[in-house]
Structure 1
Amino acid sequence: MIRFVIALLAATLVIAPAQAQRVKDLGGFQGIRTNQLTGYGMVVGLPGTGDDNLEYTVQSMKGVASRFGLQLPPGVSPALKNAAVVMITAELPAFAKPGQKLDITVSSMGKSKSLRGGTLILTPLQGADGQIYAMAQGNLAVGGLGAEGADGSRIVVNIPSSGRIPEGATVERVVDTGFDRAPFLTFNLARADFTTAQRVQDAINSRFGGARARAIDGVSIAVQAPAGADVRAELMSEIENLTVEAAEARARVIVNARTGTVVINSAVRVSPAAVTHGKLTVRIDEAQNVSQPLPFSKGETVTEQHSAVNVEEEKKPMFLIQPGPKLADVVKAVNAIGASPADLVAILEALKEAGALKAELVIL
């Protein structure tokens, strides 16, 4: 199986030529990003699968009731089997305007067995700065299912303690990106690479002329832009659709020792090396021999324990890895060794230590 995976990767990576990519696929403009929102609320209307009488659930219910002028009698601790305390999470897209809708995820905080059939009560969603940016409310869509018998047996399908509300939140506040006032537009690459940053700079300058773009480091490219949100939006659109041939990634070999998955990128190189691969197997066979006494004798039937220990070593000749400038040479050498996933990790580590593998080895 592992040889098939490596061979498939070789066919994909060796044959595929380098292709130009859109600038928008290499990164994004600084400040144009999503923002995480969170909220603390209550889900009601559950069919007896709620938190019951947890203290913070009771406090939360009293807080909800107080919004409507309802004061629960002192000392009253209602059994809230039909309610559950939850956390709400959502992502606020860049340039989201008041009135737009957001999808939200609702997850139980307490011992609620299921949120199926519940309704989220109006809950404010806050950003990292503590300001309210959206309000959430609605009926939950829960993909999980749970059932429990009288004897305590229980079956759970998926995760019934978490659900989603499509378009369950409404944006109330705009996040100021400041892109229309900053002295420069800064484009940040998703992966740091000085060569790619230089190529993005050259592509922008070639399109707009002059020295409008300047690579600050291996991630950021500063672009001079005129004032005005509409003019900058047009400029950013043109920059995002420029095509650039990204630099070849660093040579890496990724090995997942648990699943046996091996990924080798096209930058990997090998030097001459000799590798031997074999296995030592120790086999112990246990048997019992029965000894019968002669007829009419006073002897007794006894059993004798017999152990047979055998050591077998699989003999394989030493294999020579030839120097190769292509990924296909690496794949051919690994296939010839016929290593299992566990043995392959050890072989690759040994090649790395010997200096024959010209790549970064990452073990997951």
Structure 2
Amino acid sequence: MRFYKQKEYCIQFLVPTMLLTLMVTVGIQAQGRLNSHVKVQHAQGKKIVGYGLVAGLDRTGDRTISSRGSQFTVQSIANMLENFGINVDPSRLRTRNVAAVMVTADMGPYHARGSEIDVTVSSLGDASSLKGGVLLETPLLVPGTKKVYAKAQGALVVGGVKSELGASRISRNGSLTARVPGGGIVEDNEVFELNANEPLGLVLEKPGYINARRITEAINTNFDEEIASVFNPGLIKVEWPDAFQEQGMKNIFISTIMEQKVELHKPARVVVNERTGTVVAGGNVTINNAMVSHGSVQVRTQVNPLISQPPALSGGETKVVPVPQVGISEESAQNVVLDPDTNVQQLAEALNSLGLNPRDIISIFQALDRAGALQGELIVM
């Protein structure tokens, strides 16, 4: 790599400088068990949802007074108290310790009655934070149905933090979304049974012709007969051997398939998250001949207050007049010439040497992709 200077103009906003860290993963081939890469067809889980209340908030819940208050929260509190034999007038409720929330969860096809599942809680009203709250018992069902599949309750785990005083407010991550680990208890679930009259379907987590062929070959080799075939890049169909026709033997047959180790193809990818400034690249990503140039023009704006004092006895008023100031400072650009087949570690060293922040690095990856120099798939989240 060669470094040299040249003059170049580029406008950017000032943000804190951070170093780039690239996660180097496995090479283009990776061996793993099939249960990490395929699922049984038709063995689908359910997305269940419910409406509930979170109590115990420290005056950060929904407003229940004034015309801007959350009317559904007020009505929900009144209905809940009525279920306990307490009749209240909704118009007389005064509280900021309760918030209306939507509760969501994923229930797998094999979750039996009594199984615990994690639930996610999201604020529905104008609450400012769910920190410290407790979710009251909430029935969960599939939207459009009336059958209750699970019930959720428990203390919230909030990852974000929010603080405000007067007009000042500081927040980090989200404090209006929380989780209740193991807070859902499965009440009911349909029993999934395999049909011996139809082939076993294996759905690939990441469809692809190469991996579908390799999985098919591994299954046929393991059972020493042609029982598996590629239906499409995302689906493999396996015929049931004669020795595995009973329901109990079917489960053994599936477990035998799932514990097989197969060498799968891993595509070269670079994943960037523009919102958080995160960049993750696989170790099999390479860069063709390319030149990266980075320069900046820093634009600063500032408003200084100036006190305007009129002459005595002039009848004028003393006022504070804002005086705007604008300054522009230019920096020289740095160039990095990338040699053929530069790997991600070398690219990381080159970009870090320029003192770039993550969002600049994301822009560079996007430019390399458009220039055809990035030997891999760029995924922007």
Matching of residues 147-166 of structure 1 within 5 Å: 159-166=174-181
Task: Name the residue aligned to 2:308.
Answer: none
2:285·2:343 contact (CA, 8 Å) conserved in 1? Answer: no
Summarize deviations over 1:179-234 as a string: whole Å, max 9, x none. 35671221111212112111111111111232211111111111123444321211
Paired letter, 2:207: A
C-alpha distance in 1 between matches for 2:297 and 2:159:
50
**Aligned residue among 245, 249, 259 for 1:231:** 249
For structure 1, which segment, 114-123 or 192-201, has the greater mean C-alpha deviation from structure 2 after superposition? 114-123
Paired letter, 2:76: S
Paired letter, 2:187: E
Shift of 1:79: 2.0
C-alpha distance in 1 between matches for 2:132 and 2:368:
57
Report SS of the residue matched to 2:51: strand
Shift of 1:4: 8.2
Task: Name the residue aligned to 1:187.
Answer: 202
Task: Name the residue aligned to 1:100.
Answer: 115
Shift of 1:83: 2.5
Unaligned runs of 5+ in 1: 284-310
2:136·2:154 contact (CA, 8 Å) conserved in 1? Answer: yes
Shift of 1:114: 4.0
Task: Name the residue aligned to 2:52.
Answer: 41
Task: Name the residue aligned to 1:167.
Answer: 182
Matching of residues 1-364 of structure 1 within 5 Å: 9=24, 18-51=29-62, 52-53=64-65, 54-68=70-84, 70-72=86-88, 76-128=91-143, 130=145, 131-142=147-158, 159-180=174-195, 183-225=198-240, 226-249=244-267, 251-252=268-269, 259=277, 261=279, 263=281, 266=284, 268=286, 270=288, 331=346, 342=360, 349=367, 353=371, 359-360=376-377
Report SS of the residue matched to 2:54: strand
Report SS of the residue matched to 2:206: coil
Unaligned runs of 5+ in 2: 1-16, 299-329
Task: Name the residue aligned to 1:308.
Answer: none
1:96·1:175 contact (CA, 8 Å) conserved in 2? Answer: no
Shift of 1:320: 9.2
Report SS of the residue matched to 1:246: strand
Task: Name the residue aligned to 1:287.
Answer: none
1:349·1:361 contact (CA, 8 Å) conserved in 2? Answer: no
Paired letter, 1:89: T
Report SS of the residue matched to 2:255: helix
C-alpha distance in 1 between matches for 2:191 and 2:76:
33
Shift of 1:165: 3.4
Task: Name the residue aligned to 1:290.
Answer: none
For structure 1, which segment, 112-121 or 190-199, has the greater mean C-alpha deviation from structure 2 after superposition? 112-121
Report SS of the residue matched to 2:221: helix
Shift of 1:78: 1.8
Aligned Cα root-mean-square deviation (Å): 4.6
Higher strand share: 2
Number of aligned residue pairs: 323
Report SS of the residue matched to 2:122: strand
Going from structure 1 to structure 2, the CA distance change for 1:215 and 1:58 (only over 3 Å counts) comes to: same
Shift of 1:176: 3.6
Question: TM-score, length-normalised on structure 1?
Answer: 0.67
Going from structure 1 to structure 2, the CA distance change for 1:263 and 1:44 (only over 3 Å counts) comes to: closer
C-alpha distance in 1 between matches for 2:91 and 2:227:
69
For structure 1, which segment, 209-218 or 26-35, has the greater mean C-alpha deviation from structure 2 after superposition? 26-35
C-alpha distance in 1 between matches for 2:160 and 2:365:
44
Report SS of the residue matched to 2:119: strand
For structure 1, which segment, 227-236 or 211-220, has the greater mean C-alpha deviation from structure 2 after superposition? 227-236
Question: TM-score, length-normalised on structure 2?
Answer: 0.65
Identity over aligned pairs, percent:
27
